[in-house]
Chains A and B, each alone.
Chain A
Amino acid sequence: MAGMKDKLRRSRREVIRTAAMLAGAAGLARVIVRPAAATPEMLQEAIRAAVGEAPVNKGRVKLDLPPLVENGNSVPMTVAVESPMTKADHVKAIHVFNEKNPQPYVISVWLGPRAGRAAVSTRIRLADSQTVTAIAELSDGSFWSDSVDVIVTLAACIEETTH
């Protein structure tokens, strides 16, 4: 009886080990397949839907997210854009996207010169460790962006409920 238990335990250990190896290999394969700077297709599509064919420049936008998140259910986020917010030169919209939630959209906001300051804060959900991207649309038609890598230890969105 004890021997059988041992055998079972051993085989379970083997299964776990094999699974871990497979998962590791899959992860490695994914890393190798995906080019270093590219983002997944859904995210790219969502960004194209908001931005169109215009080029997205790096800079002017400051996306503030904690680099290490304990609970992905509520992550404080602030997006601020450097802009004088005058009639001639202001931020028209800010879009925030994520890479690994079930959907790529987080929030889109529309403002104008009446805002005075192009900054918005909210709390978001993150289902996994991932890159979050904020894109600002300026009144001159240019787009600017910032990205932040976030490590999430407890994921949101897909966990089971207790009620």
Chain B
Amino acid sequence: MARPLIHIPSDIRRGDIIEIKTLISHVMETGYRIGVTGLPIPRDIIEDFVCQYNGEEVFRARLAPAIAANPYISFFTVATESGTLEFSWTDQHGKTQVQITAITVT
């Protein structure tokens, strides 16, 4: 899996509700498509996405093949303190991609 993109607002104050936008490059192959060889293209799906804020889980998603390629997920969280946001994407084979982003709360 490739390097994910994370966007959080700049200038975050304590107690702000911030929107976190995430994007990871991935084919999200459904397993229903037929390739040029006439054989089905094997399923390859990111199934789980988790966001932890200073070690505490704040958001979790379970993705189906109905999620478009290069999954984009945006959600909200309350900025409580400075620290780290840890994002992890796990595919159907159990392979996990982790991205850690620093968050500064004033």
Contact = CB atoms under 8 A, between A and B. Distances in A.
Contacts, number: 109
A110 B74 CA distance: 13
A47 B93 CA distance: 26
A136 to B, nearest CB: 14
Nearest to B64: A105
Interface of B: 17-18, 30, 32-36, 41, 53, 56, 58-69, 71-78, 80
A157 B32 contact: yes
Given A98-B66, A115-B58, A122 B74 contact: yes
Interface residues of B: mostly helix, strand, loop or mixed?
strand
A63 B62 CA distance: 18
5 contacts: A74-B68, A101-B65, A102-B65, A120-B73, A163-B36
B91 to A, nearest CB: 15
B61 A121 contact: no
Contact of A158 (B32, B66, B75, B77): B32
A79 to B, nearest CB: 10
Interface string A51-86: 000000000000000000000011100000000000
B75 A120 contact: yes
A103 B60 contact: no
Given A110-B59, A122-B71, A158-B33, A115 B77 contact: yes
Interface residues of A, number: 36
Contacts of A162: 36
B65 A122 contact: no
A104 to B, nearest CB: 9
A109 B74 contact: no
8 smallest beta-carbon distances between A and B, as pairs: A116-B17, A105-B64, A117-B76, A123-B68, A116-B78, A74-B68, A108-B62, A106-B66
A109 B71 CA distance: 14
A154 B53 CA distance: 39
A103 B76 CA distance: 28
